[in-house]
Chains A and B, each alone.
Chain A
Amino acid sequence: NAGVMQNPRHLVRRRGQEARLRCSPMKGHSHVYWYRQLPEEGLKFMVYLQKENIIDESGMPKERFSAEFPKEGPSILRIQQVVRGDSAAYFCASSPSGTGGNSPLHFGNGTRLTVT
């Protein structure tokens, strides 16, 4: 029973390049969340998606960042024209249901993005 799968584990990009981070939720989970963790800090919510819909993107920077969760395939977090401040660990989590009830998040091992 595979957990949340994220790839790549480590990603190095030069300033100005694009970063694409992938997340496959746990089997049976249709809700995906992206969080960012800066060094020595907690997790900050970025975006919450269901299949083909963005439900809450209140934590996502308005520019350069986008996320999708297509009908088929993994969820993608895309960062265009990366800057050094984007260096962080990006965690994906999934749950079987979203709002209401007990629906704890199950996390992947993260993608560590380094911008040089």
Chain B
Amino acid sequence: GEDVEQSLFLSVREGDSSVINCTYTDSSSTYLYWYKQEPGAGLQLLTYIFSNMDMKQDQRLTVLLNKKDKHLSLRIADTQTGDSAIYFCAERPYSSASKIIFGSGTRLSIRP
């Protein structure tokens, strides 16, 4: 089946690293994505990783993929107040390649 799960909330102190976790069920997933949604806005693609990669780094963002455990994480270094948003994990399963399946999102809040 196709399912993507994330924890709903994460609170981090400004300047610390944030780690947002995600698990998925479809082992045939080809690409996995992280999107960011700010209040009242659409989803902004942050980064993505192909399923044959273990890690991808893009400035403050690091994506780790554990394909054996079907676990994906997004690490945001030096978290800033502007990082406050909802972060969605998503997968493109091989079995249903015409659509991308989203998790319910993790709401990241930053405390001073």
What is the interface of chain A, defined by CB distance below 8 A to chain B? 4, 6, 33, 35, 41-45, 48, 55-56, 58-59, 91, 93, 98-100, 102, 104-110
Contacts and interface: CB of A to CB of B under 8 A. Distances in A.
Contacts of B96: 56
B9 to A, nearest CB: 11
Contact of B103 (A42, A99, A100): A42
B102 A42 contact: yes
B49 to A, nearest CB: 10
Interface in B36-59: 40-45, 48, 50
A106 B42 CA distance: 9
Contact of B99 (A6, A41, A48, A109): A48
B24 interface: no
Interface residues of B, number: 23
B97 A100 contact: yes
Contacts of B48: 102, 104
30 contacts: A33-B99, A35-B102, A42-B88, A42-B102, A42-B103, A42-B105, A43-B102, A44-B102, A45-B99, A45-B102, A48-B98, A48-B99, A55-B98, A56-B99, A91-B42, A91-B43, A98-B97, A100-B97, A102-B31, A102-B50, A104-B31, A104-B45, A104-B48, A105-B43, A105-B45, A105-B100, A106-B45, A107-B35, A109-B42, A110-B42
B61 interface: no
Of B42, B48, B96, which is in contact with the most chain A CB atoms at under 10 Å from its CB? Answer: B42
Given A102-B31, A102-B48, A104-B33, A45 B100 contact: yes
Given A56-B96, A107-B43, A109-B41, 11 more contacts: A33-B99, A41-B104, A42-B102, A43-B88, A59-B99, A91-B42, A93-B43, A99-B98, A105-B43, A109-B42, A110-B42
B101 interface: yes
Interface in B83-105: 88, 96-105
